[in-house]
Structure 1
């Protein structure tokens, strides 16, 4: 019997970028609820300079697969397709155009109204803190996957509707000083775990399937001593930690009706703005360690930048920061199985370097930085 042909390794660049392309970058706060849902569409049509800067950064770093956080969920022909055609396909300040033939978008929970007073302020507004996840309008802070490689569309899994109560040992928020649940029983029965969504998007890279595990957990702040956001952030990250281990993932179900987590010996990358840091005292204890110390996750080397280091020179973690507010929040974490890290980095030029103006302020591009990892996909040894 002839030996099977060896599978040649494939190298590619995977990145994540919180692009801050939600209405708060284009409208004053008093107009967000009434007009926010259309703000990105109008900004895209107007060749907005902040969006041009985002496109320039992407063209400069040139990822093969890219996760975008905070790209509002709007119809594709009014949103992501305009960004691809009118921005990325045109040179931005001398950078070469870049083409992503494949993309994935889907609804998110931010801004979806609930009938409950979730923040316990005596008023059920249906928006902001009383939405199923904080948002001024449905679709705020959405997510996108862009890829130069085909997506396995029939195998994509979304978990937007997975209920928080169905996670064993869920960190249900409690009223301070009591054992009484923070959320009313009727609300807890309906409460989704994902503040945006969780996606498993398989990308077909040559002979390899690479599972892109995408999410954007809620920030662990903007709450009170009940720590409702910190606890949700922890469990949104725990979802992936459990998803990667078959003996822990039996409870998981997706929006397509399929149960369980990722099968053994699969190549994956966990990517997105996880809003968790080893430095943060706002996170529930051990939150990001669930992934950084996970046996299936290749957490080193950590992407770094000279710009981050210079931004907070007295902080020993500064080179690893991915946000202007001085924390590592954005992650590209490949699997131990079937991948090798070649190099990695954070796009954060120092003052005086080319393109440093692009990261000078959130209004210029974003308060986050693009994080990238060059990987080699390899056959099982």
Structure 2
């Protein structure tokens, strides 16, 4: 059963990759305006959870913000207005002009600052009930300029940015004062040799940028601490300065096939794959140690639940939520 929505001094944060990305620019807006079933399912899921603020880690960005505005209108029509939003340009699809992956061809998706077939594909967006006081955007930081980075040697260090999508410090105005959301969506530690190092460094970046104020690291870290590929050292370091509410789903599919040899708790999984490496925990909300967590969960309903069909239709990723007591 879904927990009650946040009230009073309780703040409900959420993060989710809702699958609101398409194969070309403008196609997401087209589908929103056509009442595409997958888009409507994503809106239904968010409206059912009723977050006070949600970071979407898979929504195509456009210069005028038309797709995000149209999706916000869908949420309002479903009875859950989130009037404040931020969606700066991500690195995904922004071409570097270089052959970054060394395949002999420039201008391909892997030659962009972050993987993408067009500028803004599968970007980040924040929707909030609370006003946004400020945004500090670290998206343009060069990978080589990060202290202690693991960037492999190569000829393009002078152009390669750290963020595969974006790094934002978004300060929300709450009744208890500002709350900083340290938002990100990291590259998966797969597909290219450099991606393990980049995935690690994208998470480790926040260790040198923690605000002197209440905060929560939020988004798609694209790393399971136990199963799958990747180096969990940066995640472990983040957990040393935050707290892990360990959001759990109400249901998990049978742990067979690619899940059979997993060592992690399947209730913590947030991504569903029917091929290796199987289901993984990839999405996180890690509040600062001084914040009081009331409840947390992964929105993964059992078959037959009224929301199960919409959750399955919207995305293979599952929404993660955390309730904080700000009093």
What TM-score comes out, normalization by structure 2 length? Answer: 0.91
The answer to whether the aligner puts 1:303 opposite 2:247 as a matched pair is yes
- Conserved in 2, the CA contact under 8 Å of 1:277 and 1:288? no
The 5 A counterparts of 1:132-143 are 132-143=113-124
CA RMSD of aligned residues (A): 1.6
Partner of 1:199 in structure 2?
A: 168
Partner of 1:242 in structure 2?
A: 208
2:295 to 314, 337, 343: 343
Q: 1: distance between equivalents of 2:121 and 2:294?
A: 35
Q: Deviations over 1:78-122 (max 9, x none)?
A: 21111111x11223xxxxx10112111100111111121111112
Return the offset for 1:285: 4.6
SS of residue in 2 equivalent to 1:129? helix
Q: 2: distance between equivalents of 1:281 and 1:38?
A: 34
- Conserved in 2, the CA contact under 8 Å of 1:276 and 1:287? no
The answer to whether the aligner puts 1:90 opposite 2:39 as a matched pair is no
2:125 to 133, 144, 155: 144
Partner of 2:322 in structure 1?
A: 373
Q: Structure 2: any 5+ residue segments left out of the alignment?
A: 1-7, 274-278
- Conserved in 2, the CA contact under 8 Å of 1:112 and 1:127? no
The answer to whether the aligner puts 1:49 opposite 2:37 as a matched pair is yes
- Conserved in 2, the CA contact under 8 Å of 1:151 and 1:203? yes
Partner of 1:229 in structure 2?
A: 195
The answer to whether the aligner puts 1:331 opposite 2:284 as a matched pair is yes
Return the offset for 1:357: 1.4
Q: Structure 1: any 5+ residue segments left out of the alignment?
A: 1-8, 24-31, 92-96, 174-180, 245-261
Return the offset for 1:229: 0.8
Q: 2: distance between equivalents of 1:341 and 1:12?
A: 10
2:55 to 41, 45, 67: 67
* Larger CA Rg, structure 1 vs 2: 1
Return the offset for 1:287: 3.6
Distance 1:149 1:285, change over 3 A: closer
Partner of 1:319 in structure 2?
A: 267
- Total equivalences in the alignment: 310
Return the offset for 1:280: 3.4
What TM-score comes out, normalization by structure 1 length? Answer: 0.78
Q: 1: distance between equivalents of 2:18 and 2:145?
A: 32
Partner of 1:289 in structure 2?
A: 236
The 5 A counterparts of 1:110-189 are 110-124=92-106, 126-152=107-133, 155-173=134-152, 181=153, 183-184=154-155, 187-189=156-158
Return the offset for 1:70: 0.9
Q: Deviations over 1:207-228 (max 9, x none)?
A: 31100110001111111xxx20
SS of residue in 1 equivalent to 2:42? helix
Return the offset for 1:281: 4.1
Q: 2: distance between equivalents of 1:211 and 1:141?
A: 23
Q: 1: distance between equivalents of 2:32 and 2:232?
A: 40
